[in-house]
Amino acid sequence: MKAALQNYHARMQRVLDHIDRHLDDDLDLDALSSVAAYSKYHFHRQFTATFGLSVHRYIQLARMKRASYRLADRDAQSVTDIAMDAGYDAPDAFARAFRQRFGQSPSSFRKSPDWAPWLAAFGPLNNARSKLMQITYASDDVTIRDVPPTPVAILEHRGDRATLGATIERFIAWRKAAGLSPETSATFNIFRSERTPAVPADYSMDLCVGTDRPIDVDDEVMKAGVIPGGRCAVLRVVHDTHNLEPAALYLYRDWLPASGEEARDFPIYCQRHFSFFPNVPVHDVVVELFLPLK
């Protein structure tokens, strides 16, 4: 029975991957049921039962999420082009749907995104992806690596995770102005608290870009720092790279006790490789999670 369930999950995962890769295509039930190799007469009910929302709703949310990222990237397409790519025949229809979901017009969001309702709106999408099956890791997935010290520019986020989007906006704007693109300068996140602490205001994370460029002491956004070198347990994550909590839990709960290693006095952190969503599909994002060791 376990093998049959794994096969079912794998077929449903193929559907999510196909949707991610083909958001601009006609994603009808015939095509998606064929990807899953299930009858089209039952596939939509299977999808809803598995993920908690209909396939149509899932596609709508995935397209709207991509559209919202493109709007936030002020150098990207026009609002009209973004609306068309999101599957709307006219900009006014897109604007109505966008305002209904996020409480802002597309043009207002482009100028000053309100990220709290954005996070709430995509809760069903994130829940759907996490319901598929818990990604399982094994000791063979973890390597021990000696990493060199890495000078970085740091933007500290302190406070409710619902406000993280605004911090990310400031981080992106600073690195653009500094000419430190994700393709040429490494991106790191240092996790100084749990993803969902008991008190939301206790959430704490550092957003970092690799650079040895001096940072002005009067810089109001970034400060200079160093990710210390040393031995690290490294776990590669290629699935839900927006939520690294399951991977971190595996390292702390399973791998670390069985390995005989001891954690070093520095927080767990990650490096995000190459470009990331929305410039590439979700399934192409690769993250390496580092647990510092003594």
What pLDDT digit, counting tens, does each position of 7-27 carry? 887 888 888 889 988 888 888
- What is the CATH number assigned to the segment(s) 139-292? 3.20.80.10
Cα dihedral 108, 110, 115, 121 sign: positive
For CATH 1.10.10.60, the residue range(s) in the chain are: 2-131
Q: Is the peptide bond before 151 cis (omega within 30 degrees of 0)?
A: no
pLDDT digits (tens, 9 = 90+) for 68-77: 888 877 666 7
Distance CA 54, CA 56 (A): 5
**In the prediction, which pLDDT does 83 show?**
87
pLDDT at 105 over 70: yes
Q: What 3-state DSSP class applies to 264?
A: coil
Assess whether pLDDT exceeds 50 at residue 283. no
117-169 pLDDT, tens digit each:
887 788 787 777 766 655 678 888 999 999 999 999 999 999 998 888 889 88
pTM of the full structure: 0.65
> Which part of the chain is CATH 3.20.80.10?
139-292
Per the listing, tokens 């973890």 go with 142
- Residue-wise pLDDT tens digits, 249-263: 899 999 999 999 999
Domain 2-131: CATH class, spelled out: mainly alpha
pLDDT digits (tens, 9 = 90+) for 182-192: 878 999 999 99
CA-closest candidate to residue 117, choices 95, 138, 101: 101
Q: Express each pLDDT in 46-94 by its tens digit.
A: 888 888 888 998 998 889 888 888 887 766 678 888 888 888 888 888 9
